């Protein structure tokens, strides 16, 4: 990611909304707690801001609860935010996320949690975090936030049915009616652990690029499969690679919705024909 990671302005003592008790200690972020491995520091404070004191019984197992959400990439600072609470950086003062960071992450991520049938956790009520931007972890700059806002991103949606039998003409019509069309290869991991269960393998091939960004589309579609799990389940088989053409739209606010899914069977001629004819096709 090219977003600036931690932006701490000053290390004044902030008033703490959490009851941390008297004694805290610093420990290494355990290897099992892989959701917080790339946060830019290696020592965390115990108890953490959620009041967990035991690494084995609380911190490590509960950190796994965050994995599905963090894997959707719902906000560039989601990991920083979550890890600043479950594995607070060990400095001589307590650094919490600012309320504005909490709000930014919540606004992006709560809809995806809702898609997975979960409410935004009460422990992360943004009102609990300090409002002063100079005693806490601040959100990314306004410019970055704006850039992020207008970038194409997936949203919670129902999954279109997979179409298996079609004539190339109807595929061309679908390309005309949608903003983008891409060819993807997907698979499902047999033992998902640190990696997401559903995966887009290799490069995404553009048939029509529309408003998608070339370098971002792989992760966008990967996230799309993870947001509503039934999309990933519908498209993938364990240990097998399947090919599809996905066609969809990018709305004015940057949200992407996939409208049509064509399965590309090995000896399929209609999709091959449609892709070939598309280059000279007039809608
Ligand atoms: C997820 O996709 C399924 C299948 O299309 C759909 O029935 C369900 O409503 C979707 N979930 C949400 C929250 O939109």
* Statement to judge: residues 92 and 201 lie in one domain: no
User: Would you say residue 15 has pLDDT above 50?
Assistant: no
Domain that holds residue 262: 153-278
pLDDT (0 to 100) of residue 155: 87
Q: What distance in angstroms lies between residue 145's CA and the mean position of ligand 1's atoms? A: 28
- The residue contributing the CA closest to ligand 1 atom 10 is 158
CB 207 within 8 Å of CB 175: yes
Q: How far is the CA of 230 from the centre of ligand 1 (A)?
A: 7
CA 37 / ligand 1 centre spacing (Å): 32
Residue 283 in domain: no
Q: Do 144 and 45 share a structural domain?
A: yes
SS3 124: helix
Nearest protein Cα to ligand 1, atom 11: 158
Q: Angle between the 168-177 and 270-278 helix axes, to the nearest 10 degrees?
A: 50
Give pLDDT, residue 167. Answer: 96
- Can you tell me whether residue 180 is helix, strand or coil? strand
Per-residue confidence band for 36, with pLDDT thresholds at 50, 70 and 90: very high
Q: What number is the average pLDDT over the span 203-215?
A: 93
DSSP helix/strand/coil, 250? strand
Q: What is the pTM of this model?
A: 0.78
The binding-site residues of ligand 1, defined as CB within 6 angstroms of any ligand atom, are: 115, 156-159, 228, 230
Residue 234 pLDDT: 94
Mutational test site, ligand 1, from 154, 158, 231, max ligand atoms within 8 Å of CB = 158
> Are 193 and 131 members of one domain?
no
**Structural domain total, the chain:** 2
Q: Which SS3 state, helix, strand or coil, does residue 52 take?
A: coil
Residue 216: its pLDDT value, please? 86
pLDDT per residue over 65-94, tens digit each?
888 888 888 888 999 999 999 999 988 778
Distance 271 CA to ligand 1 centre (A): 27
Residue 283 CA to ligand 1 center (angstroms) comes to 31
Q: Which atom of ligand 1 is closest in space to residue 114's alpha carbon? A: 13
Strands (DSSP E) contained in the chain are: 25-28, 43-46, 96-97, 136-137, 153-154, 162-163, 180-188, 198-208, 242-250, 255-263
| 194 within domain boundaries | yes
Inform me whether the pLDDT recorded for 19 exceeds 70.
no
pLDDT at residue 7 tops 80: no
Cα separation, 261 vs 245, whole angstroms = 6
Assess whether pLDDT exceeds 90 at residue 192.
Answer: no
- Is residue 35 scored above 60 in pLDDT? yes
My answer on whether 189 and 121 are in the same domain is no
CA of 260 to the centre of ligand 1 (A): 15
Q: 157 and 269: one domain?
A: yes
| CATH code: domain of residue 87 | 1.10.2000.10
């Amino acid at each position: 990611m090219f977003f600036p990671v931690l932006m701490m302005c000053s290390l004044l003592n902030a008033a703490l909304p959490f009851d941390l008790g008297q004694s805290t200690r610093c420990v290494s972020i355990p290897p099992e707690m892989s959701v917080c491995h790339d946060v830019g520091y290696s020592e965390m404070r115990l108890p953490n801001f959620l009041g967990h004191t035991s690494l084995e019984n609380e911190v490590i197992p509960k950190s796994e609860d965050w994995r599905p959400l963090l894997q959707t990439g719902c906000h560039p600072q989601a990991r920083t935010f979550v890890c600043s609470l479950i594995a607070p950086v060990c400095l001589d003062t307590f650094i919490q996320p600012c309320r504005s960071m909490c709000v930014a992450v919540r606004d992006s991520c709560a809809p995806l949690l809702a898609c997975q049938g979960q409410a935004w956790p009460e422990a992360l009520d943004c009102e609990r975090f300090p409002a002063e931007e100079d005693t806490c972890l601040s959100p990314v700059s306004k410019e970055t936030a704006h850039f992020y806002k207008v970038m194409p991103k997936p949203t919670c949606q129902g999954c279109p049915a997979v179409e298996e039998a079609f004539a190339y003409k109807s595929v061309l019509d679908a390309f005309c009616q949608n903003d983008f069309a891409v060819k993807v290869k997907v698979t499902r991991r047999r033992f998902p652990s640190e990696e997401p269960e559903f995966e887009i393998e290799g490069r995404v091939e553009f048939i029509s690029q529309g408003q998608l960004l070339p370098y971002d589309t792989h992760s966008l579609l990967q996230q799309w499969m993870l947001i509503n799990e039934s999309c990933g389940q519908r498209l993938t088989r364990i240990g097998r690679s399947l090919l599809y053409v996905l066609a969809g739209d990018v709305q004015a606010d940057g949200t992407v919705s996939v409208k049509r899914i064509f399965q590309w069977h090995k000896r399929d001629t209609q999709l091959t024909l449609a892709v070939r004819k598309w280059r000279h096709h007039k809608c």
